[in-house]
Amino acid sequence: MFQFKLQNEDFELILDSISDGVLILDNSKKIIFVNKGFCEIFSLDKEIIGQKFEKLLDFEQAKKLFFLLGSELKETERKELQVKDDLFLEVSCKTIKKGEEPLAILILVHDISKAKMVDKLKTQFVSVSAHQLRTPLSGMKWSIEYLLKGKAGSISTKQQQLLEKVFQLINEMTIIVHQLLQVARAEEGKISLNLKKSDLLEILYSAISLYEAEMKRKKIKFQIQLPKEKLPKIRLDPEYMGLVFQALLDNAIKYNREGGEVEIALFLEKKEIKVAIRDTGIGIPEKEKPLIFSRFYRATNAQKMVPSGSGTGLFLSKVIIEGHQGKIWFESEEGKGTTFYFTLPIL
């Protein structure tokens, strides 16, 4: 069998051949190795070898890495760092140990600028497409309402049922388009919450009304549980909070079995209101749970059950709830159902 041993200069040659940046420090935070990729990314040279980590402060681009990790070099996993308008990096910092003994500190830097540019183009495409869809959808919705009210002449029961189904589909498409617009705004940092004293129950009931027909069609057993105390009005954005309820209710109904259950419970706690939305649907596969709040992500079992869907509702819900200084999480078992929880502070 062919065997060989790598010398130190061989390791340096290998690490210099990769585009990712590699920086290694000893336990005293002195730089003991830096590869060519790191030097090119941060516009410095290998003369920094032998210097303390603080030496990065002398370089305009590299100082941002220092501020990200701090003088204590806190462990980081794939943390995003914007160095320039057109330079985005993913930074990881880890202490390498030999047994229990710290051996060195490894910093890895990966250039994600191209991926960020593609994401930006996707966001722009989504935004433009959603804007273009809004007008025809509004016209279609108005036309169906006009027909259902009999303003264009009487219609048969069969025609009414068909029009009601079309109206429901247009409603669903309108919600998706609105969510896509909000996702684009969130990614561009343009979501601006208009906080004002609002009645959370009023917003909830408004969202429920959008799904009454679908719950009736699927024979969903629906119930709502309220606290004994009257809920106080809290500072929130009614429009965005409506989107959260719509997204969570949509999932609870869409991925539920016929004759299933949906239960909403509200709890008044000391400094916050807690909301739980439980369903008896398909649940979330264990291995996919970490991805469930990712934009455009839909679990595999959800895609099989309902092929259509944008995968934006939960991503947007997380952005909105956290924008209200709240928290959102879930409990789920595949095949048995899911409960989503979120909290809103009482301010």
pLDDT tens-digit profile of 95-119?
988 888 888 999 999 999 988 888 7
Highest mean pLDDT among 6-10, 46-50, 173-177: 46-50
Residue 324 has pLDDT above 60, yes or no: yes
Is residue 248 one of the residues assigned to a domain?
yes
Structural domain ending residue among the three candidates 162, 191, 220:
191
The total of structural domains in the chain comes to 3
Task: Say if residue 104 is in the same domain as residue 184.
Answer: no
Task: Say if residue 267 is in the same domain as residue 280.
Answer: yes
Task: Say if residue 319 is in the same domain as residue 210.
Answer: yes
In the prediction, which pLDDT does 190 show? 64
Q: How far is CA 72 from the centre of its chain?
A: 30
Task: Say if residue 347 is in the same domain as residue 212.
Answer: yes
Task: Say if residue 212 is in the same domain as residue 185.
Answer: no
More reliable by pLDDT, 296 or 226: 226
In the prediction, which pLDDT does 46 show? 86
For the chain, give the percent of residues with pLDDT over 70: 96
Task: Say if residue 180 is in the same domain as residue 218.
Answer: no
In the prediction, which pLDDT does 6 show? 47
In the prediction, which pLDDT does 221 show? 96
Single pTM value for the model:
0.60
In the prediction, which pLDDT does 2 show? 44
Structural domain ending residue among the three candidates 138, 158, 191:
191
Structural domain ending residue among the three candidates 191, 224, 245:
191
Instruction: Identify the band that residue 8 occupies on the pLDDT scale cut at 50, 70 and 90.
Output: low
Is residue 328 one of the residues assigned to a domain?
yes
Task: Say if residue 140 is in the same domain as residue 93.
Answer: no
Do 262 and 281 form a contact (C-beta atoms < 8 A)? no
For position 101, which CATH number holds? 3.30.450.20
Write out the residue range of the structural domain in which residue 62 sits. 8-111
For the ranges 59-73, 167-181, 189-203, 219-233, the lowest mean pLDDT is seen at 167-181
Using a 10 angstrom Cβ sphere, with 0-12 exposed, 13-18 middle and 19 or more buried, the burial of residue 301 is middle
In the prediction, which pLDDT does 277 show? 97
For the ranges 100-109, 180-189, 284-293, 296-305, the lowest mean pLDDT is seen at 180-189
Average pLDDT over residues 228-242: 92
| Average confidence score pLDDT of the chain | 88
Is residue 3 one of the residues assigned to a domain?
no
For position 202, which CATH number holds? 3.30.565.10
Is residue 67 one of the residues assigned to a domain?
yes
